[in-house]
């Protein structure tokens, strides 16, 4: 269990965790939600320290930048490639070729800018239970990958960044880490738990449906894009909930 958590931290962040061992995706993937909690905990600390120095709008911008830095922009790179590949009416094979290209096009740049802008706007509006949502949202967004590998086939059977995650299906017992963020939400705010689950399921289902319609498969870049879009969407949802309270 400890090795799986360490491997997930090494894969999803730039946090130094000692030497890299043999990567086993089926043992690493279940710990994505817990790794997201660690990212969220560090984000809460960075956000709090920022409030001691800057006004709220600047703090939100710095917090968004912190997310970019601590993840090594891994998911943003996937978002850019996915936007380039899936934009327009291209055949699936051509879309996969574009996503594999290391160069980033105009659509990819625009997608990244929009994503960061949405995160900043959403985060700036969240005041009620702000530390809780900064902690939980990174965990929920990374948990979506666990469901994506069940719903869609991998788009690069010859190999790719996300190939190893599809080699062995997760068992029901592998989903236990999802209970940790769920328990935290239920303990602090049951209504928040309902909002979070509803929003996460809705956003995830919408993204997977879009992927299915476009190319009926998923790649490592598309998994990264899912994390970024879900994270942005959840910030917007809880900004709206904040306004209702």
In order, the DSSP letters of 87-155 are SSS--HHHHHHHHHSSS--HHHHHHHHHHHHHHHHHHHH--TTHHHHHHHHHHHHHHHHHHHHHHS-BS
Q: Which residues contact 80 (CB under 8 A, 6 or more apart)?
A: 104, 108, 109, 111, 112
DSSP secondary-structure letter at 20? -
Q: Which of 141-145, 151-155, 184-188 has the least mean pLDDT?
A: 151-155
**Has residue 163 got a pLDDT over 70?**
yes
Rounded to a whole number, what is the distance in angstroms from the first to the last CA of the chain?
39
- Half-sphere exposure for 172 (CA within 13 Å, toward CB): 0
- Phi, psi torsion values for 218, nearest 5 degrees: -145, 150
| Helix, strand, coil percentages for the chain (3-state, nearest 5) | 75, 0, 20
pLDDT digit string, tens, across residues 118-136: 999 999 999 999 999 999 9
pLDDT classification of 21: cutoffs 50, 70, 90: low
**In this structure, are residues 167 and 25 in contact, taking their beta carbons and an 8 Å threshold?**
yes
CA dist., res. 243 & res. 72, Å (int): 32
DSSP string, 152-188: S-BS-TT--TTGGGGSSPPPGGGGGGGHHHHHHHHHH
CA dist., res. 118 & res. 106, Å (int): 18
Q: Which residues contact 40 (CB under 8 A, 6 or more apart)?
A: 134, 135, 136, 137, 138, 139
pTM: 0.94
pLDDT confidence of residue 2: 77
pLDDT confidence of residue 4: 85
pLDDT classification of 112: cutoffs 50, 70, 90: very high
pLDDT confidence of residue 161: 65
**Whole-number average pLDDT of the chain:** 91
């Amino acid at each position: 269990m400890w090795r799986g958590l360490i491997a997930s931290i090494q894969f999803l962040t730039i946090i130094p965790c000692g030497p890299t061992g043999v990567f086993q995706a089926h043992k690493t993937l279940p710990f994505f939600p817990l790794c997201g909690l660690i990212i969220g905990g560090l984000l809460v600390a960075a956000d709090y320290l920022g409030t001691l120095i800057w006004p709220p709008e600047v703090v939100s911008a710095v917090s968004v930048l912190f997310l970019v830095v601590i993840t090594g922009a891994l998911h943003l790179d996937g978002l850019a490639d996915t936007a380039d590949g899936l934009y327009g009416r291209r055949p699936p094979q051509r879309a996969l070729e574009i996503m594999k290209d290391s160069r980033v096009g105009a659509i990819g740049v625009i997608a990244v800018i929009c994503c960061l802008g949405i995160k900043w706007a959403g985060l700036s509006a969240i005041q009620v239970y702000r530390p809780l949502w900064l902690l939980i949202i990174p965990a929920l967004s990374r948990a979506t990958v666990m469901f994506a590998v069940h719903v869609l086939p991998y788009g690069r059977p010859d190999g790719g960044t996300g190939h190893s995650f599809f080699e062995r299906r997760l068992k029901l017992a592998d989903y236990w880490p999802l209970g940790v963020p769920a328990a935290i939400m239920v303990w602090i705010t049951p209504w928040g738990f309902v909002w979070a689950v509803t929003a996460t399921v809705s956003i995830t289902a919408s993204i997977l449906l879009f992927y299915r319609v476009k190319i009926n498969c998923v790649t490592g870049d598309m998994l990264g894009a899912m994390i970024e879009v879900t994270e942005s969407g959840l910030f917007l949802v809880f900004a709206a909930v904040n306004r209702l309270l």
